[in-house]
Every structure is written in structure tokens, then in C-alpha cells.
Amino acid sequence: MPALTARAERWALAQPFVISRGVKTEAEVVVAEITAGPHRGRGEAVPYPRYGETVGGVLAQIEDARGRIEAGAGRAGLQAILPAGAARNALDCALWDLAAKQAGVRAWTLAGRDRLDPVKTCFTISLGPVDAMAEAARANARRPMLKLKIGARDDLDAVAAVRAAAPRARLIVDANEALTFEELRRLAPDLARLGVMLVEQPLPAGQDGALEGYASPVPLCADESLHTRAELAACARIYSLINIKLDKAGGLTEALALAADARAAGLGLMVGCMVATSLAMAPAMIVAQGAEVVDLDGPLLLTRDREPGLSIQGSILEAPSPDLWG
């Protein structure tokens, strides 16, 4: 019979990570492990306060699910046991890892893929003084894509400074719900002029209705407004792309289904992450195959990564080894 354990871990960040909602200096993650005979599956998730989650609450959810997991509930059954969120993500990814090891194949094979290609991630520039954001962009100017956090009075100055510091990089801006519709309409033409390719979650979730019928000069991407397939139809009327994160979707199982439905609806895909280790990025790489934008830079923001972690060359993430996941 399977045996389930879960624990919390803290991973220090190389620099404070600043968005419009606040600052963090460490990644707090929950790791679930499911053991069956000689095989062990692992999954990592990040409890996110924006969605009412805490480390203690996620561990309690996993503990509540223990009996059914140890009784043999698999990935399909898990979807009915827990709601979408970090707890289900940790367990779902652990079950994928375990199933791959039991079958002697890679997880992407179970997901119907012949191979897992490397992916090219963007790199995040935290919200801060304009000079500091420009310096961070200059230090990472050779990366192919930069994502800068906005949500301050001098947003346009910051974007212009980042563009000047990294003239060849593709730029994404992420407001994390910090703008009003009027602010977006005012900023968008200048963002387009500065070569910004995407604006992520400009308005607060729940206020997206203001965007209906708005022809933005820069494509808009839903993040906080979309967690699972339940929100897809509403977002498809407003956004050009959606950001799929395993912690929001509640695991790889729902994320893959969401990606397929989004493609069928004509939406572009961004695959993102919370700040976490390579163990959290590895399953997301399956969803990221063919995505227009990949934002799996969590390990690049830490002082040290899990060992073994993903092999990362610059901004290129290679397929995980079986010792890491899948």
C-alpha cells in the first residue's frame, strides 16, 4: 500500500522578490512524497496567500487526504478529493512521478509525448526603483526574454529604462492586478511603442469585465483571473493568452486538460510558476511544450537549488533527470 508523507521547506532567495502586493525573501514550499514498494514519487507546491493558502493549511489538506491516497486513490480520484490549489498540486505531481517510476517510463510518455524538449524561460525583474530595475535588466540583457513587475507611479519610466538597458530582449510586463482600466488604457500605447509583447493580469481578478470589447495595442494575458477550466470561457472573451500555473490548476492533470481546452478556444499559452525549486518546475515543463511564453525561472531566483536540480544553461531548461522528477 502507498505511504504518504509531507513536509514544509524554506529556500532563500538571491534577492528580495518584489511585486505590487509585497515582498518575499524566501520560498516556502510543501513537498509531498508517496512511496509504494521500492518506488517514490515527489511533488512540490507553493501555498499562496493571495488565494487564502498557508503552509499549515496546505499540510492539513494533505493530511486530510492521506487515508484515501494510501487506500489507492490515483490522479483521477484526487481531482474529487481536493479543490484546485497547492495541496492538490503537490499530491498530483507526486502521483505522476510515482506512476512513471512504477511503469519504468518518463512522465511525459504517460502524458502522451514522445520526448520533452528544452524550454526557454523568461527572467523576472522585481518591482523597485527605476535605476535598480534598469541595473537588473542590464545584468540580464543577454537573456532572450525579461518579465518586469509593475505597479508603481513611475511604471512607464521603469519600462523605458529596462528597454534601454536590454534593447534586444523581448519584454513582458506583469501588473499582478495593480492597474485600473484607465491606467491600462493610458499605458498600453506607450508599452506597445517600447516593444512590450505582453501585459499580464493588468486588472484585479473579478474586474475583468471592463476589458470586454477593449482592443489593447499589447496582447493581454490572464493570470490571477484563471485557475482551472472553470474560468476559461470567461477569460477567452477578454484575453489573448492565459497563464497556466500548476499551483493554481491543482496539478499537472488539470493543467494539461486546461492547456488542451485553451488551445481549442484559440488562446495562446503562457506557463508560469511560483518561486520554487526545480522540483516544482519539472512537471510544468510538460505543459510548457509549445507554449508561446515560458516563465519557469523559479530556481534562477534562489541562492541554491535542489540537488539534483534541472540543468539550466542561461535561460534554457533541460528535461529533468529521473532522480529529480518524472
Tell me the mean pLDDT in the region 220-248. 97
Among the listed residues 101, 147, 245, 248, the single catalytic one is: 245
**Distances in whole angstroms, Cα of residue 128 to Cα of each of 15, 190, 292:** 12, 20, 27
72 confidence band (pLDDT: 50, 70, 90):
very high
Residue 287 has what pLDDT? Answer: 98
Instruction: Please answer whether residues 158 and 152 qualify as being in contact, where contact means their C-beta atoms are separated by less than 8 angstroms.
Output: yes
Pairing of strands 145-149, 293-294: unpaired
How large a percentage of the chain has pLDDT more than 70? 100
Q: How many CB atoms lie within 10 A of CB 202?
A: 31
| pTM for the structure as a whole | 0.96
- Inform me whether the pLDDT recorded for 259 exceeds 80: yes
Q: pLDDT tens digit string along 182-211?
A: 999 999 999 999 999 999 999 999 999 999
Q: How far is 49 from 40, CA to CA, in rounded Å?
A: 29
Domains of the chain are 3-105 (3.30.390.10), 119-317 (3.20.20.120)
- Cell reading at 5: 508523507
Residue 16 has what pLDDT? Answer: 84
- Inform me whether the pLDDT recorded for 154 exceeds 90: no
17 confidence band (pLDDT: 50, 70, 90):
confident
24 is catalytic: no
Tell me the mean pLDDT in the region 22-36. 94
Instruction: Please answer whether residues 10 and 28 qualify as being in contact, where contact means their C-beta atoms are separated by less than 8 angstroms.
Output: yes
Among the listed residues 101, 147, 149, 248, the single catalytic one is: 149
Residue 19 has what pLDDT? Answer: 83
149 is catalytic: yes
